[in-house]
A and B are shown apart, each in its own frame.
Chain A
Amino acid sequence: MNRALPEMLNCMNAPGTFLAGNCTDMTVLERQRARMKWHQHEHNDPIQLHQQQQGYNFSGNELSGVFSVPIPTGQSQAQGFMGLVCGDSEVKPDPCSENRWAELGYGSCGLVVNNNGAAGFEEMINGHNNNSNISRTFSCPPTVAAEKKSNDAVLSQKINSPAGKESFKKRKADKVQSSKAVAAEDDSTEKRMKGCAEEGDSKITEQTSTKNNTNNDRESSGDTSKDNSKASEVQKPDYIHVRARRGQATDSHSLAERVRREKISERMKYLQDLVPGCNKITGKAGMLDEIINYVQSLQRQVEFLSMKLAAVNPRLDFNIDDLFAKEMFPACAANFQTIGMSSDMTNSAYVQFNPAQQMVSSCGLDMGINSSDLALRRTISAPVSIPETFLDTSCFTQAPPTAIWDADLQNLFNVEFHQGRTTPFQSQPFTGSIEASNLKMEM
Chain B
Amino acid sequence: MRNSTSLKQEFLKKWIKGLQVCNSSSEKKMTILERKKAIKLSADIAVASTRNGTTCWSRAVIANATQSNRVVVERILGPHKPSRSVSSVMHKKILKKSRRVCSSRSRRVLMRKRDAAKTRSIVKRLVWKKTQVLKSLVPGGEFMEDEMCLIAETLDYIVSLRAQVDVMRCLAATTELINGK
Contact = CB atoms under 8 A, between A and B. Distances in A.
Interface of A: 260, 263-264, 267-268, 270-271, 274-275, 284-285, 288-289, 291-292, 294-296, 298-299, 301-303, 305-313, 315-321, 324-325, 329, 332-333, 336-337, 339-340, 343-344, 347, 349-350, 352-354, 357-358, 401-402, 405-406, 409-410, 413, 423, 425
B176 interface: yes
B172 A353 contact: no
Interface residues of B, number: 64
B126 A285 contact: yes
B13 to A, nearest CB: 7
Contacts of A425: 181
B43 A306 contact: yes
B18 to A, nearest CB: 11
Interface stretch (B3-11, B80-88, B89-97, B102-110): B3-11
A306 B177 contact: no
Contact of A353 (B133, B154, B163): B163
B39 A410 contact: no
Nearest to A284: B127
A296 B134 CA distance: 9
Interface string B2-41: 1111111100110010011011001000101101101110
A320 B12 contact: no
12 contacts: A267-B148, A267-B151, A306-B168, A312-B176, A315-B23, A321-B16, A336-B8, A340-B4, A352-B2, A352-B4, A401-B169, A409-B173
Interface string B160-181: 0111111011111111111101
A17 B176 CA distance: 72
Contact of A305 (B2, B7, B137, B172): B172
Contacts of A340: 3-6
Say whether chain B's binding surface is mostly helix, strand, loop, or mixed.
helix
A410 B164 contact: no
A311 to B, nearest CB: 6
B45 interface: no
A263 B165 CA distance: 29
A313 B166 contact: no
A93 B19 CA distance: 82
A292 B43 CA distance: 21
A292 B133 contact: yes
A73 B109 CA distance: 76
A313 B2 contact: no
B169 A402 contact: yes
Interface in B121-150: 123, 126-127, 130-131, 133-134, 137-138, 147-148
Given A285-B126, A305-B168, A306-B43, A295 B157 contact: yes
Contact of A352 (B3, B16, B39, B131): B3
A291 B161 CA distance: 13
B22 A324 contact: no
Given A329-B12, A402-B173, A406-B177, A316 B168 contact: no
A295 B138 contact: yes
Contact of B3 (A284, A289, A302, A344): A344
B39 A309 contact: yes
A318 B168 CA distance: 13
Given A301-B165, A343-B5, A318 B137 contact: no
A337 B5 contact: yes
B16 A324 contact: yes
A294 B8 CA distance: 20
